[in-house]
Amino acid sequence: MTKSYRHGQILNLIRIQPTRTQEELAHALHRVGIEVTQVTLSRDIRELGLVKGQQGYREPERAAPPTEEPGNLKRALEEFVRDVKTAQNIVIIKTAPGNAQPVAVALDREGWPEIIGTLAGDDTVFAATPDARQAVRAKEKLLALLR
């Protein structure tokens, strides 16, 4: 098990469930097959820059309250997106040529729970969701930002 993989799993866990203590985080990691010592977990938390708030551990950019200014995703969608469709559990986002990557990066940074990950080509972004219902929800959220 690599440190990078462990870091990714820690981030996934704190995104999907409130985790208030290192002990809770260690138990959650154990449930996904990762054994970790308290010392290693403390180092991982420090290296990831996690902050501890009232709801538990969060990534630094998630710890700050959202600002009123439109986010990068809204700007990227307005500037580059030409169409949004779903196919089973995939949201397909068509962009102007050469602009799929900035849309995928902006979408990844939003950290939407409906989106597991993105893959960008030249003019198309595939956004994977856990199921078809989540794909429809993500599509609706994207279209709402375009309105």
Question: What domains lie within the chain, and their CATH numbers?
Answer: 3-63 (1.10.10.10), 72-146 (3.30.1360.40)
Q: Give the residue ranges of the chain where pLDDT is below 50.
A: 63-70
| Helix locations, the chain, DSSP H | 3-16, 22-31, 38-48, 60-63, 72-80, 100-110, 132-146
pLDDT at 140: 95
Q: Rg of the Cα trace of the chain? A: 17
pLDDT at 71: 56
pLDDT at 2: 85
pLDDT at 70: 41
pLDDT at 69: 39
- The predicted model scores a pTM of 0.58
Number of neighbours of residue 92 by Cβ within 10 angstroms: 15
Which has the closest alpha carbon to 106: 48, 95, 97, 36? 95
pLDDT at 68: 34
Residue pair 28/19 in contact by the 8 Å Cβ criterion: yes
pLDDT at 64: 46
